[in-house]
Amino acid sequence: MLEEARRELQPFYPPDPDGSVPVGYIWARTLPFQNPACGVEIPLMRQTWLAKKDNRKIALRLVPNRAARRVDAEIVEGRAISFDPEEGTVTRAHVRCPLCGGSIDDDATRRLFREGKAGQRMMAVVLHHPDRPGKRYRLPTARDLEAYRAAEQALEEKRRKLWEEWGMDPVPDEPTPIGGGPGAERAFSVHKYGLTRWGDLFNARQKLALLTFADKVRQAHAQMRSQSADPDFAKAVVTYLAFTVNKIADYCSTLCQWRNNLETVGHTFSRQALPMLWDYVEGNPVTGASGTAEGSLDWIVSVLAHLTHIPPVEGNNE
């Protein structure tokens, strides 16, 4: 499953010319500022730290470009950080425009999302070289954006193909939870921002990756059955592979934070909630870094290995 999925997905996560592999893409959701005198696309970021460690400080600086009416960005490190990266452009759905200083209140923010006015912008790329320790950061290039657009096109092709084979839309269209009380409404706030279907919680490349892994699980089952594998054995194997896909999905949504204190990909269910996230990290599931398919499989195998060593309950032979 992993080898076949990696072969199909690798082209959508192209390495740098020096061999560095992208292990994460930092995205910001965006909103158009409603003042026509400004009209800038605002990247929504709660803060701009990329690495926040005692011995390593790297941040993204948002640079107002009034002549071009846009917000540019640059990566700064160490003593060059002459601003407060804790100050982003959005706090509790209140948005501040870096260009003109104007604001969008929380009700208007939610309304714009529900009206489909929100977009997204790739802000930074996280890289790791297999022969060097640590991670480095750079701004996205045209090549990064082309790879994402290629994934968008590949998603539509795979979606149509699997829809025909499976007899249903492979992208989940079940409604996201609304919540039944004040606390639950905060826990499941994504619904207020127009993310009303489960498929809305993933970007195009994440959907493509998850559909590819799910398809490979089905193919693995068909291959085992064609080779006369025991039906119960085949069922058990694909069940464990499905657990793996489930683990991958937890690290492969637009609700995953970049954990700047560890420089790793966070996961969706850090708590029992689906809260709105303004900026998120898109991990690369076909590398050996955190939140990947290989790590997810290792996790499932370790759990199963532990379970097999639990002594049976007395009087129960199963």
pLDDT single digits (tens) 61-92: 999 999 999 999 999 999 999 999 999 999 99
Better-scored residue on pLDDT, 259 or 188 = 259
Average pLDDT over residues 154-158: 98
Predicted pLDDT of residue 287:
83
| pLDDT at res. 295 | 85
**How does residue 40 score in pLDDT terms, banded at 50, 70 and 90?**
very high
Q: Which range in 111-125, 279-293, 303-317 is most confidently predicted, on average pLDDT?
A: 111-125
Average pLDDT for residues 293-304, to the nearest whole number? 88
Residue 185: the pLDDT is: 64
Looking at residue 216, what is its pLDDT?
Answer: 96
The mean pLDDT value of the chain amounts to 93
Is it the case that residue 186 has pLDDT exceeding 80? no
pLDDT of residue 273: 87
Q: Is residue 289 over pLDDT 90? A: no
**Pair of tokens at residue 305:** 């290995």
Q: Report pLDDT digits (tens) over 92-117.
A: 999 999 999 999 999 999 999 999 99
Is the pLDDT at 179 greater than 90? The verdict is no
**Percent of the chain whose predicted confidence (pLDDT) is above 90:** 83
Residue 170: the pLDDT is 97
Question: What's the whole-number mean pLDDT along residues 179-185?
Answer: 65
Confidence band, pLDDT 50/70/90 cuts, at residue 188? confident
pLDDT at 288: 64
pLDDT at 246 exceeding the cut of 90: yes
Structure tokens given for 183 = 């606390």
pLDDT over 70, % of the chain: 95
Question: What CA dihedral angle connects 214, 218, 223 and 225, to 10 degrees?
Answer: 150
Looking at the predicted structure, is the pLDDT value of residue 187 above 90?
no
Is the pLDDT reported for residue 168 higher than 80?
A: yes
